[in-house]
Structure 1
Amino acid sequence: MAAANSLFPLLSRLWAHIGQGQRRQLFLLILLMMVVALAEMVSIGAIFPFLAVLTGPERVFNHPLGQYFAFLFGLVEPRQLLLPITLLFAVAIVLAGCMRLLLVWVQTNISYAIGSDLALDVYRRTLYQPYAVHTSRNSSEIINGVYSKASGISSYVILPLVTIVSTATLVAAILVTLIGVDPFTSLLALAGFGVIYGGVIKLTHRRLFRNSRLVADEAGRVIKSLQEGLGGIRDVLIDRTQDVYCGAFRKADLSMRAAQINSTFIAQSPRFAMEALGMLLIATLAYNLAQGDGGIVSAMPVLGALALGAQRLLPLLQQCFQAWSSIRSNQASLADTLDLLEQPMPEHARQGDVPPLVFERNIRLDDVYFRYSPESDWVLRGVSLEIPKGSRVGVMGETGCGKSTMLDIVMGLLSPTSGSLAVDGVVIGAENGNGWQAHIAHVPQSVFLADSSIASNIAFGVPVDEIDMERVREAALRAQLLDTIQSWPEQFDTRVGERGVRLSGGQRQRIGIARALYKRADVLVFDEATSALDNETERAVMESIQALGADTTVLIIAHRLNTLNSCNIIVELGKGQVARVGSYRDILSNS
């Protein structure tokens, strides 16, 4: 808990992820802060001659600096000082305001630019994680981490951090100016403000951290309830379970918002005590100065400078405290984001395009064992298998016997716990996995479709302006889908809806097959890819697969034996082991 409560190590880790170019921008921002602080000092100091001219122009005119100023502008009587001094004061105030506005604009732009880069880095690192990592995660947690936490890092950490530095710089400049005006009152005010803010920080920092953990966790549950309710909308409507999902959403949302309300109240509450203390100090100072020899008139410049300084100082102190509260109340989200930022990147991620691995003879699984974690049961137990190039291999077996896991290993998505996958005698590992996957196209049982056009879904992952429409049509034809597409008004520009909701199950499956064919890979893996097709369409698709050519290797998982009648090798798995290998006739005669 001590480590979790410590904010500075987290900020140190965050700094390590900020690029050199952005660090230079931050250092230039600090220089701008110093210029703005100087402008603030000038604007507060300018009130002295302004109020002095208003209350006693003769004294200013007879002062050596007043005489120099009068000579410079050709002034001959005291009242003539009022206009130029007023204009100089107005220029100082407007210039300070413009500089503050520039500072806010620059620091906001830099903060959000850094946050954007960090969010992109989180997303990139997450996408590059091995398939085994993705299978162990909940998608709602990943979406919450990548989008909500990482994207929000600009507003809840980086901008508040920059705000703290800038306000601290301005506060220091204003305090130096006020101490020059009245050291005792300024130091007394500083001590009072410091005690109040320090006390609030001491009392609330643990509560803010607990709120941060609660918000981070409940935000994931909110996304989870949305995903589950909307993702299973057919069952929700049929079973009338809307209230169940609304209840889960409301419970998580109310808990999250209660923590946010508590943190927001803590961040804003010291403001009113600060304003009361500031007014009390000004009133006390005005009373004491009025008792002096010159009365309130002679004290007016000092009183005005202190009042202007307090008017500038109090909002800055409150802004600084709110920024600290924002960071503290989002500390858990920051820690989660940093964990995502520190995900290891595979070496091939920096290599660019990797040339395909040489594949001319065979794929071999040698004594492969696999399990998803040291605590789980073995999914595969000593699987050894040779797949010649150009063969048609059918894989069958009961549910849970390891068929999909075996093909995930063949595709390089999972690494064997022991044993090896080799292509033409070359063992496949992290260093050459990309080169092997360049040969592979995969059609899963449940095809993911983006809410875009038919063409974009067939050429999945290809930028729209780079799609080869001839290849798209050819792939659709071989997937027995071209006639259907051409019967639609918008043809290949037809939008499929979210997850292909506007298409039938068979149409979605054939788009997945067309996607694999568009890639023109020489190793095609079909994981129950024809299960949603009617018998006639399945037969036509299998004939197209059979006609792919002697250099194309096809691996098909199917529950129906007759789906595999075009395969020259059939592998039957049982309890994670190869039960038998033979031709279709051999398996059929002994089934």
Structure 2
Amino acid sequence: MSETMNETKNSTLDVIKRVFRHLSSRRRHQLIILGILMIISSFVEAISISSIIPFLAALTDPTKLLNIPFLKGILEYTASTNPSDMRLVFTVTFIGLILASGFFRITFFWLQTRLSMAIGIDFSVQVYEKTLFQPYEEIISRNSSEILAGAHKAKDLVGYIIQPALIFFSSLFMLVVVLTTLFIIEPTVAISGVIGFGTLYFIATAVSKRFLLSNSRVYAAELGRVNKVIQEGVGGIRDVIIDANQPTYAKVYRRALTRMQLAAAGNVLLAQTPRFVIEMLGLVFMATITYVLVSRDGDFVAAIPIFGAIALGAQRLLPILQQTYSAYATIRGGMQSTIDALNLLDQAEPTTTDDTNQSHKLKFNSTLTLNKVHYAYQSSARPVLNNINLHISRGDRIGLIGATGSGKSTLVDLIMGLLTPSDGNILIDGEELNEKNMRAWHALVAHVPQSVYLADTTIAANIAFGIEKHEIDMIRVKEAARIAQVSDVVESLPQKYQTFVGERGIKLSGGQRQRIGLARALYKKARVLVLDEATSALDNETEENVMSAIEGLGKDITMIHIAHRLTTLKNCDYIIELKKGKVFWEGKFSEISEH
């Protein structure tokens, strides 16, 4: 019952409407222009089909054309009343109309393809941008392979629905125009064709509908599994090699990929099979029509013009019929992937504020206060932090200690504005931290995690992370690298700061990656520096040098340092110990041994 309701809710037309709602006004105007061109192209097509009648009549018995007042007037006006001139006029006219029809069809197809690709780019960028702007907790609750699969589905909306929908509606309109033309020329033949071929495609649609939708669900699900197993295999390559798990991952990958490709192949088969039946029945239909026309008129020559028009119409009609059905089948076959992509498009729009104005309002000149802060993740009713009250002055060096799971990382995520308190509030100079000033606060905060993410680009680009190449300040890059004690290493490399670090910094050691992460935070020149086990991969001497260099920056920087190695915190003004989500102890470094 629920499946039926879900299908109703996500009918083909409903999904197309959802797609249309996400189009920009510019794309909608372009669609209107494309629609106008489609109408012109269809009518030129109809005229070209109709023109074959006088063309063939001029070749077989041109004198009959003089019995038609409209044509007689044109022929007399052009002084083309003798048979030879009449043949030339109608031959040139017919060729001109065929060329015009072909030109409009090619132009329409070119514009249709370009517009489809442009819409696909718009949607893919929207999905990516909206995903990046989602709340931090929302993003970390998703599997990265799920996000990757969603981005792929958004990118592939061009093939799933955008281009097929344009083809479907343009082919449907062309179908109506061609059928109307054939009906005017020979009503009996047109009606017979509609009933015969229409019935065939109706049966094909009814039979394939559920199979197409079922295959689309299998394809969408297996695409996620394929991405997941690739990420897990490559991401854990050390363990995969050591444990000799390559055959296991390859087997899982093959299983998921096979199911995905079989579903895709099934949909292609369902979409294309009617074409072969139509081609076969089309020849049977033309043979039958020839027999009927000759038997009715008693003269094959007299039947040639009508037969030619029907033949040309059928030659246009049968591919259009197949295009219409194939486009529908493609839309149904990609339905689940389309719905998944649309769900990502339906994500909340990014709520941005004027950073310039906000930066004047939020400076962090004196205090950072946490007032009765509680926090629980959406996936758990049990709070991670309970009744946290902290008062941090600008320039303080704060150390956070506690067992794993005590809430240290969650606390700094709250302080950095990545998470919002479930209860209580955070105040910056007495002003509550909220959505309106969050961007300004983020501009004042820098974070160095234990595991630093490095992009597969240059060292300079990783230090000035997220800044376009031409905007990177190399003086700041080098200064940040010097303070982070990584400049000597970088300067010894052949390409120096233009050295590529490899995916996730694989070409660097763990300590080098951490120091580049620290240099990244220093490049930002933030007022609050959060170090989450940021020096854990460094030897004691390097850590000592790094911390001394940071201390040399002065008291303008407020530092919050999470560490398990207590000696790292010896220069902190005071230490906070968390236990089971609560502040268990506060004191100076010298008091830890007594505690």
The reply to whether TM is greater than 0.5 is yes
> 1:55-84 CA deviation, whole Å, 9 max, x = no partner?
223433565556545434444632342233
1:521 aligned partner, one-letter code = A
One-letter code of the match for 1:81?
Answer: M
Report the AA paired with residue 326 of structure 1.
T
DSSP-derived class of the 2:359 partner: coil
1:321-470 counterparts in 2 under 5 A? 321-348=325-352, 354-355=358-359, 357-373=362-378, 375-470=380-475
In the alignment, what sits opposite 1:216?
Answer: 220
Amino acid paired to 1:86: T
Superposition RMSD on alpha carbons, in Å? 1.7
Alignment partner, residue 132 of structure 2: 127
Letter matched to residue 2 of structure 1: T
Pair 3,353 (structure 1): closer, same or farther in 2 beyond 3 Å: farther
Secondary structure of 1:18's partner? Answer: coil
| Distance apart, 1:473 and its partner CA | 0.7
Of the candidates 65, 77, 87, which is equivalent to residue 82 of structure 1?
A: 87
* TM-aligned CA distance change 1:293 to 1:199, over 3 Å: closer
Whole-angstrom CA distance in 2 between matches of 1:250 and 1:353? 54
Q: How many Å apart are 1:349 and its aligned residue?
A: 5.8
Separation of aligned partners in 2, 1:523 and 1:101 = 60
Do the aligned residues in 1 keep the contact of 2:448 with 2:531 (CA within 8 Å)? yes
SS of 2:592's partner is helix
Q: Does 1:257 align with 2:261?
A: yes
Contact 2:448 2:517 in 1 (8 A): yes
Which whole-Å deviations, capped at 9, do the CAs of 1:553-574 have from their partners, x for residues lacking one? 0001100101111111111111
Q: Secondary structure at the match of 1:157?
A: helix
Change (3 A) 1:343 1:488: same
Q: Is the CA contact (8 Å cut-off) linking 2:222 and 2:257 kept in structure 1?
A: yes
| Contact 2:272–2:326, Cα closer than 8 Å, also in 1 | yes
How much does 1:373 deviate?
2.1
Q: Give the total of aligned pairs.
A: 589
For 1:354 and 1:29, the matched residues in 2 are separated by 44
Distance 1:568 1:250 in 2: 57
TM-aligned CA deviation for residue 4 of structure 1: 2.8
Tell me what 1:578 maps to. 583
One-letter amino acid matched to 1:572: E
Residue type matched to 2:192 in 1? L
Matches within 5 A, 1:61-140: 64=69, 67-75=72-80, 77-140=82-145
Q: Secondary structure at the match of 1:292?
A: helix
- C-alpha contact 2:240 2:246 (8 A) present in aligned 1: yes
How far apart are the structure 2 equivalents of 1:299 and 1:482? 90
Letter in 2 for 1:408: D
SS for the counterpart of 2:584 is strand
Aligned partner of 1:323: which letter?
A
Q: How does 1:143-182 map to 2 (within 5 A)?
A: 143-146=148-151, 148-182=152-186
487-496 vs 348-357, greater mean Cα deviation: 348-357
Aligned to 1:311, the other structure's residue is in SS state: helix
- What is the SS of the residue equivalent to 1:355? helix
Contact 1:473 1:482 survives alignment (8 Å) = yes
Q: Distance in 2 between matches of 1:234 and 1:384?
A: 43
Mean Cα deviation higher: 514-523 or 73-82: 73-82
Which blocks of at least 5 consecutive residues in structure 2 are unaligned?
Answer: none
Structure 2 equivalent of residue 270 of structure 1? 274
TM-score, normalised by the number of residues in structure 1 = 0.96
The amino acid that maps onto 1:57 is: P
* Letter of the structure 2 residue corresponding to residue 14 of structure 1: V
Specify the SS of the correspondent of 2:590.
Answer: helix
Q: CA distance change for structure 1 residues 336 and 350 in 2, over 3 Å: closer, same or farther?
A: farther
Q: Match of 1:201?
A: 205
Q: Does 1:242 align with 2:246?
A: yes
Name the structure 1 match of 2:288: 284
Q: Distance in 1 between matches of 2:79 and 2:13?
A: 59
| Cross-structure match for 2:556 | 551
Query: CA distance change for structure 1 residues 99 and 351 in 2, over 3 Å: closer, same or farther?
Result: farther
Question: Match for 2:38: what amino acid?
Answer: M
Give the distance between the partners of 2:297 and 2:391, measured in 1 at CA.
106
Is the 8 Å Cα contact of residues 43 and 92 (structure 1) preserved in structure 2?
A: yes
Q: Which residue of 1 aligns with 2:479?
A: 474
Matched residue SS, 2:406: coil
Q: TM-score, normalised by structure 2?
A: 0.96
Cα distance in 2, alignment partners of residues 92 and 334 from structure 1: 39
Which of 542, 547, 552 is the aligned partner of 1:542?
547
SS of corresponding position for 2:555: coil
Structure 2 counterpart of 1:231, which letter? Answer: G
What is the identity, as a one-letter code, of the residue corresponding to 2:4?
A: A
Q: Deviations over 1:332-373 (max 9, x none)?
A: 111111211111124326778742613122212222221212
Q: Give 1:494's aligned residue.
A: 499
SS at match of 1:137: coil
Preserved contact between residue 128 and residue 346 of structure 1 (Cα < 8 Å) = yes
Task: Judge which range, 56-65 or 288-297, deviates more.
Answer: 56-65
Counterpart secondary structure, 1:589? coil
Q: Is the 8 A contact 2:353 2:439 kept in 1?
A: no
1:419 positional shift? 1.9
Say whether the 8 Å CA contact 1:167–1:320 is kept in structure 2.
Answer: yes
Comparing 239-248 with 289-298, which one deviates more in the overlay? 289-298
Q: Residue deviations 1:437-488, cap 9 Å, x none?
A: 1110000111111111111000001110011111001000000011111111
Is the aligned partner of 1:315 residue 2:298?
A: no
**DSSP-derived class of the 1:384 partner:** strand
User: Does the 8 Å contact 2:394/2:556 carry over to 1?
Assistant: yes
Q: How far did residue 378 of structure 1 move?
A: 2.2
